A and B are shown apart, each in its own frame.
Chain A
Amino acid sequence: MPTNNSNSEQTAKQEMLEVRVWRGQGQGQLKPYQVPLRKNQTVLDVITEIQRLQAPDLSYRFSCRVGVCGSCAMTVNGKPRWTCRTHVSKVADEGVLTIEPLRNLPKIKDLVCDLAPFIDTWQKAGAVFKPTGTRYDAPAKVDPDSACRRAADASLQCINCAVCYSACDVVNWNKDYVGPAALNRAWTLLNDVRHDERAATLDKVFEDGGCGSCHSHGNCTRHCPIELSPSASIAGLKRTLFTGLPGK
């Protein structure tokens, strides 16, 4: 039938994307797959297509698929990225995609890594909110135009994707370093007048492996998918040595 012929011609002409996916538990290797190249295809679409049609045992993480949850971060062609908002057309290198788990975190299986060390750094950096009031108190009055609030707002939208942690070379070579995300969060808390333990947080960010270990490479800021600047937050933390706690 003419329709069938036309379909088979289309299939024959279908441009294919060469995808190399890291497979294994602990030890592993890159395994090649071929996926039809489509318009407006994201890297997460590609991984999902491989998992649904070619490798049902492929493990990977995703949830919202729209850049909110931060769970689908992986290394794509050598750079950490949020795969759900990364278009293949922007990152494919001559029709080839290499997808690996995030760097600087223990690998569990395939594209899934253990985020526990990343989450632990938040505790270590004192980046844990302790409220000044209780649920029975009236909401605190915070001036949205105050310097503190503007500094906190600028760093607040972190989605905990661990892209900055993966991009950071200091995290890679210094296992004590808490990393950019935890320090960025600590900076927002230091600028939050509702945080009851600002002095304790400031003490913790300067402990061994804290903001003093940052070399200001800027990889965190360069790779942050929502364009925050952990580098600026860390610089703010360092400045507190001369200026003290941020004012209200």
Chain B
Amino acid sequence: MKERHLFLLQRLSAIFLAPLVVLHLVVIMIAVRNGLSAEEILNRTQGNYFWGGFYVLFVVSVSIHAPIGIRNVLREWTAIPKTQVNQICIFLAVIFLMSGLRAVAAVI
């Protein structure tokens, strides 16, 4: 994958993330009624495919956006060779995606 593709992917994922993050934060602030408990969250999310789809999109966007950003930081600020930086970031992308999707599956 060329640098321009990574650059484009990071911008596109940011376009998705911006409204998703805002809605995520708004829901956190207005949805909590009786204290932040697992029970209340699960009551809201279980069986709700809107929130399922919402957080799948969220996780996929984060898994694209964050590793590319970390790659840029590592390349600019450390002496780690490019190949290793790429490997680290692919590893991070897989971890973010798998753990994120697992979390979504657990609450839907």
Answer yes or no: A62 CB below 8 A from chain B CBs. Answer: no
Residues of B within 8 A of A174 (CB): 76
List the count of A-B residue pairs having beta carbons below 8 Å apart: 24
Residues of B within 8 A of A227 (CB): none
A210 to B77, CA, bound (A): 17
In the complex, how many angstroms separate the beta carbon of A174 from the nearest chain B beta carbon?
6
A183 to B104, CA, bound (A): 43
Q: Which of A173, A212, A238 contacts B3 (CB 8 A)?
A: A212
A208 to B5, CA, bound (A): 12
A172 to B34, CA, bound (A): 53
Does B8 contact A207, Cβ atoms closer than 8 Å? no
Does A212 contact B4, Cβ atoms closer than 8 Å? yes
A174 to B11, CA, bound (A): 21
Does B76 contact A206, Cβ atoms closer than 8 Å? no
Residues of A within 8 A of B77 (CB): 173
Residues of B within 8 A of A207 (CB): 2-3
Residues of A within 8 A of B8 (CB): 241-242
Residues of A within 8 A of B4 (CB): 203, 206, 212, 241
Residues of A within 8 A of B54 (CB): none
In the complex, how many angstroms separate the beta carbon of A78 from the nearest chain B beta carbon?
24
- Chain B residue nearest to A206 in the complex (CB): B4
Does B76 contact A173, Cβ atoms closer than 8 Å? yes
Query: Considering the complex, which residues of chain B in the window 1-59 have a beta carbon less than 8 Å from any beta carbon of chain A?
Result: 2-4, 6-8, 11
Does A212 contact B7, Cβ atoms closer than 8 Å? yes
Query: Considering the complex, which residues of chain B in the window 64-108 have a beta carbon less than 8 Å from any beta carbon of chain A?
Result: 76-77
A208 to B2, CA, bound (A): 9
In the complex, how many angstroms separate the beta carbon of A106 from the nearest chain B beta carbon?
21
A233 to B30, CA, bound (A): 43
Most chain A Cβ neighbours within 10 Å, of B4, B8, B11: B4
A203 to B5, CA, bound (A): 11
Does A241 contact B11, Cβ atoms closer than 8 Å? yes
Residues of B within 8 A of A208 (CB): 3
Does B11 contact A206, Cβ atoms closer than 8 Å? no
A207 to B3, CA, bound (A): 6
Does A210 contact B76, Cβ atoms closer than 8 Å? no
- A191-235 interface code vs B (CB 8 A; 1 in, 0 out): 000000000000100111010110000000000000000000000
Does A210 contact B11, Cβ atoms closer than 8 Å? no
Residues of A within 8 A of B3 (CB): 206-208, 210, 212
A212 to B8, CA, bound (A): 10
In the complex, how many angstroms separate the beta carbon of A245 from the nearest chain B beta carbon?
13
A77 to B15, CA, bound (A): 42
A174 to B2, CA, bound (A): 19
Residues of A within 8 A of B7 (CB): 206, 212, 238, 241
In the complex, how many angstroms separate the beta carbon of A21 from the nearest chain B beta carbon?
33
Residues of B within 8 A of A241 (CB): 4, 7-8, 11
A173 to B75, CA, bound (A): 11
Residues of B within 8 A of A203 (CB): 4
Can you pick out 7 interface pairs between chain A and chain B where the beta carbons lie within 8 Å of each other?
A203-B4, A207-B3, A212-B3, A212-B4, A212-B6, A241-B8, A242-B8
Residues of A at the B interface (CB closer than 8 Å) are 173-174, 203, 206-208, 210, 212-213, 238, 241-242
